[in-house]
Amino acid sequence: MHVSKYDVQVIGDKWNEKKDKYEGGYTIVRLNSDEGIRFKKLIPLVAELDEAHDGTEIEVSVIIKQRSYE
């Protein structure tokens, strides 16, 4: 299966030196492309990012566009 475009983000905390504490909601890592990728090759990339950044929750949104037979 071919994924035509993808956008993978790791959202987490960053240290705020002015406030001397961590603040959440920052994009730590972003991996995206409009070039596409084979689904089997995308899964290991997502798994590696999850492991490297102590992922606790993964959200997936998939849109399948039906082929036009005109």
Q: Tell me, what's the pLDDT at 60?
A: 85
Q: Comparing C-alpha atoms, which of 23, 1, 25 is closest to residue 9?
A: 25
Distance CA 2, CA 15 (A): 38
3-state class percentages of the chain: helix first, strand second, coil last, to nearest 5: 20, 40, 40
Q: Tell me, what's the pLDDT at 17?
A: 93
Q: Tell me, what's the pLDDT at 67?
A: 86
**Residues 20-60: pLDDT tens digits?**
999 999 999 999 999 989 999 999 999 999 999 988 888 88
Single pTM value for the model: 0.76
Q: Residue 15: is its pLDDT beyond 90?
A: yes
Q: Comparing C-alpha atoms, which of 65, 62, 67, 64 is closest to residue 6?
A: 62
Q: Tell me, what's the pLDDT at 61?
A: 85
What does the domain layout of the chain look like in residue ranges? 2-52
